[in-house]
Amino acid sequence: MLVLELKERTHLESQMQPVVSDMMLQQLDTKAFQLLIEFKMQMGFKRAFRKVRHHAPANVMELRRGEQGVLERIDLPEEDARRLMEMGFLPGHTVTPAHSAPGGDPRVFRVDGSEVALRRETARKLILRAAPTEG
């Protein structure tokens, strides 16, 4: 009798094993699917937020590729400002970002027909003219 019960029990366990493993796979699939959805929602939100700008760029470092800005002033010591002006960074001139190094520093800007690479700290000191308000 004990041998018969043991055989039935092993037979039952062998039948249950695929069902249990299927359930575990479904749970894993569900969890993976939830994580994927959460990830896509986060990335979608970040992408959408990144496209919306709430203010005009204040300095040339904030310009995106393809945008242009008009230089208002240079907030650097006189000697450094003079050197930049010799390279074409004059108030009233249009500045356009070009390309940048892999880490984003230095970044190349087009101004007065030239391309000039500037460090991030220097580019932040090149203040742009405020965009005209509509109304």
Domain of 65: which CATH number?
2.30.30.90
| Residue at a domain's end among 27, 52, 77 | 52
Global model pTM greater than 0.75: no
**Co-location of 69 and 124 in the same domain:** yes
Phi and psi based region of residue 106 (left: phi greater than 0; alpha: psi -120 to 50; beta: remaining): beta
DSSP character at residue 56: -
**Co-location of 46 and 3 in the same domain:** yes
**Co-location of 38 and 66 in the same domain:** no
For residue 98, what are the domain limits?
Answer: 60-128
Q: Is residue 74 part of a domain?
A: yes
* Number of domains forming the structure of the chain: 2
**Co-location of 90 and 114 in the same domain:** yes
**Co-location of 83 and 24 in the same domain:** no
Reported as a single tens digit per residue, the pLDDT across 97-133 is 998 888 878 999 999 888 999 999 999 999 998 665 4
What distance in Å separates the CA atoms of residue 132 and residue 121, rounded to the nearest whole number? Answer: 26
pLDDT value for 49: 55
Q: Is residue 134 part of a domain?
A: no
Four-point Cα dihedral 33, 35, 36, 38, nearest 10? 120
Reply yes or no on whether the pLDDT at 40 is more than 90: no
**Co-location of 66 and 91 in the same domain:** yes
Q: Is residue 135 part of a domain?
A: no
**Co-location of 17 and 75 in the same domain:** no
